Every structure is written in structure tokens, then in C-alpha cells.
Amino acid sequence: MAGLVEKIQLSAASNSTSVSELLRQVKLAAAKLKLQETMEWVDLELNGYTGGHVPEYRKVCGQIKGLNPYQGWIPIVLGHGLDEVISDVSVREPITSLEKLMNSDATFFTVPLPPELIMKINRVCNIQLGTMAHHISPGVVVNIVERVKTLVLDWAINLENLGITGEGVSFTAEEKDKASNAGIHINTFNGNLHQGNVSGTNARANLASSDHSNNTVSSSNVLVDLENEVRRSLAGPLKDELLSLISEMKTVQKTEHFIPLYQRFVTTAANHMTVIAPFLPALTGLLPS
């Protein structure tokens, strides 16, 4: 009788087994081998990432569009390097939902933006649109699902290479010891793998519970943190100019005067986007309501 590990390998390499079914096989094997972290990863994939961080393969990029009552969906162009930052989306849906979307006839998926962000974009762009969303291509969802299958296959191959194959759905005490001592987990394999409803004439699908961005800096002390980062990472006239802008921004946050300073800051620092990008989502919280 083929062992559970071999069954997982065959399922991962096949297109006839759903990824949700594959993950349940992984959970069974991980439970037998007492691999707690792997079980937790499987639960997150099956139930959805309701809070906290998501794996890198679930961080995607979407195009922001607004729903014009006369023209339909139209692109929103923010400029000043903001499009790249605000277009980040963390897909938190359960794998079963992603599989359904992948097999639907949708030509694009939408992730609604929260009202507070829509309000700020309207103000910055001088427009008035009530509905905005990230638009994501179906290929992005396919990539997430396929990535999960590949992670599982690599995990099962690694188990076999260590002599852990099982018999039926059971493992020997020796195999359990090997798994425990080797620290085999899908989300730490090779050290870096851890880190809807269809409607409308254009066949769109809604990923309603996904985050609109991946904020890495809290808005509570963002200007102080940004100031410290500029002092640490930059030098010369550019550093002095950015520090001066930050100082001015501190005095006018949440007022109309903040907007031009914010735009000047992003434009001035455009060639150093890797330094300021983590702060931009939190900075939008200082725009006037």
C-alpha cells in the first residue's frame, strides 16, 4: 500500500485533485508527524488569513479603478510614486474560494477599497467617485493556487528524501523522530518560504475580504519614524530637503496644507522609493478627511 507521503506527491503533481483536498492530506500527515507549524499553515490556507501577515505568494499587485456611473470602471492615476505603493493587495481568501474564482468565467477580480481610503484618493485627485477597487487578473489567482501545490510537493519530496514515507496513513516511531529532529515545515522549507460572488456584465468576481495594502509602518508616529529613517539612510542636500519637508508636514497634518507638502515629498524622494515606500500608506492617514 502506498504511503501517505507518496499519495500527497501524486495529488500535488496531478490536476485532478483539488488543492483543498490536497491540503487536507497534508494536514493528516502533519498531524501524524506532529508538525504543528505545518498544520497551522494548512489551517490558514483552508480557512483564510483573517489577520496578521500573509505569505509572500499571497501579496499581489492590482490596478486601482473607480466606478464611474456613466463610463463604468476607469483607471485612477495617483502619480508621485503612490500607484505602486497603494496597489499592493494581500489576498486573504480561503484556498477553496480562490479555486472557485479560478474556475469561474470572470475576466477580472475586484478587491474593494475601504471608504476612508476612497475619500482621501478623491481629495488628492480632485474627483468624486463613491466606489473604487483593485482590479486583479485571473492569472494572479492561478499563481497563488499553483504556488501552494508546489510548496506541498517540495515538502513531500523532502520528507521522502529523509526516509519518511509512511504506510497507509501511519508512520513509524522512527519516522516521527526524523520529522521532529529535522524540523520539516512547509512554511520554513529552505529557510524562506514562510515568510466571491460573480456578477455584472463584464464577468467580474469580488474578493471582498482582502486587504487593500500591506502597511509596514504604523501611522501613530509615522513622521517621527520617517524622519529617523531619512537621517539614517540618506545624505547631502536631498537629506536636508526631505527633513525640512517633514518638519513642515508635522505642523499641518490633517489639513489642506498637508497635501502639497506630501506630494512634494514623494516627488523629491522618488529615486529613493525603497526608503520611503513602507511609510507611504501610513502617511495617507495624515491627509485631511
Question: At residue 198, does pLDDT exceed 50?
Answer: no
* Residue 120 and residue 30 share a domain: no
Which residue do the cell numbers 542636500 mark?
237
- C-alpha angle 284/89/126, rounded to 5°? 40
* Residue 134 and residue 63 share a domain: yes
Q: What is the span of the domain harbouring residue 87?
A: 59-142+196-206
Please give the C-alpha separations between residue 72 and each of 116, 200, 228, in angstroms, as whole numbers. 22, 11, 43
Displacement of CA 280 from its chain's centroid (Å): 17
Cα separation, 213 vs 117, whole angstroms: 11
Question: In the chain, how many domains are there?
Answer: 3
At residue 45, the 3 state secondary structure works out as helix
Q: Does any domain span residue 212?
A: no
* Residue 109 and residue 226 share a domain: no
Retrieve residue 273's grid coordinates: 522609493
Question: At residue 1, does pLDDT exceed 70?
Answer: no
Cα separation, 85 vs 273, whole angstroms: 9
Kindly indicate the confidence band of residue 215, based on its pLDDT and cuts at 50, 70 and 90: very low
Retrieve residue 155's grid coordinates: 515538502
Q: Does any domain span residue 37?
A: yes
Question: At residue 57, does pLDDT exceed 70?
Answer: yes
Please give the C-alpha separations between residue 173 and each of 32, 98, 157, 277, in angstroms, as whole numbers. 10, 37, 20, 50
| Mean pLDDT value across residues 36-60 | 91
* Residue 245 and residue 259 share a domain: yes
* Residue 202 and residue 107 share a domain: yes
Q: Does any domain span residue 216?
A: no
Q: Does any domain span residue 185?
A: yes
| Mean pLDDT value across residues 160-186 | 90
Question: Residue type for 275, please?
Answer: V
Cα separation, 77 vs 237, whole angstroms: 30
* Residue 135 and residue 97 share a domain: yes
* Residue 258 and residue 152 share a domain: no
Cα separation, 27 vs 74, whole angstroms: 43
Kindly indicate the confidence band of residue 222, based on its pLDDT and cuts at 50, 70 and 90: confident
* Residue 131 and residue 94 share a domain: yes
Q: Does any domain span residue 211?
A: no
Counting residues of the chain whose pLDDT is more than 70, the rounded percentage is: 84
Closest CA to 247 of 232, 231, 271, 236: 231
Contact criterion met (CB below 8 Å) for 96 and 46: yes
Contact criterion met (CB below 8 Å) for 164 and 152: no
Q: Does any domain span residue 150?
A: yes
Question: At residue 92, does pLDDT exceed 60?
Answer: yes
* Residue 228 and residue 106 share a domain: no
Half-sphere exposure of 151 (CA within 13 A, CB side): 28
* Residue 173 and residue 32 share a domain: yes
Which residue do the cell numbers 478587491 mark?
111
Q: Does any domain span residue 215?
A: no
Question: At residue 31, does pLDDT exceed 80?
Answer: yes
Q: Counting beta carbons within 10 angstroms of the beta carbon of residue 232, is it exposed (0 to 12), middle (13 to 18) or buried (19 or more)?
A: exposed
- The strand ranges marked E within 81-227 are 88-90, 108-112, 132-136, 197-199, 204-206
* Residue 247 and residue 129 share a domain: no
Between 193 and 221, the higher pLDDT residue? 221
Q: Counting beta carbons within 10 angstroms of the beta carbon of residue 46, is it exposed (0 to 12), middle (13 to 18) or buried (19 or more)?
A: middle
Please give the C-alpha separations between residue 112 and each of 117, 206, 223, in angstroms, as whole numbers. 10, 8, 28
| Mean pLDDT value across residues 96-119 | 87
Question: At residue 194, does pLDDT exceed 60?
Answer: no
Q: Does any domain span residue 248?
A: yes
The DSSP code for 167 is B
Retrieve residue 100's grid coordinates: 472557485
Question: At residue 90, does pLDDT exceed 90?
Answer: no
* Residue 132 and residue 65 share a domain: yes
CB count in 10 Å sphere of residue 39: 19
Digit-coded pLDDT (tens) for 233-285: 999 999 999 999 999 999 998 888 888 888 888 878 877 766 776 777 677 77
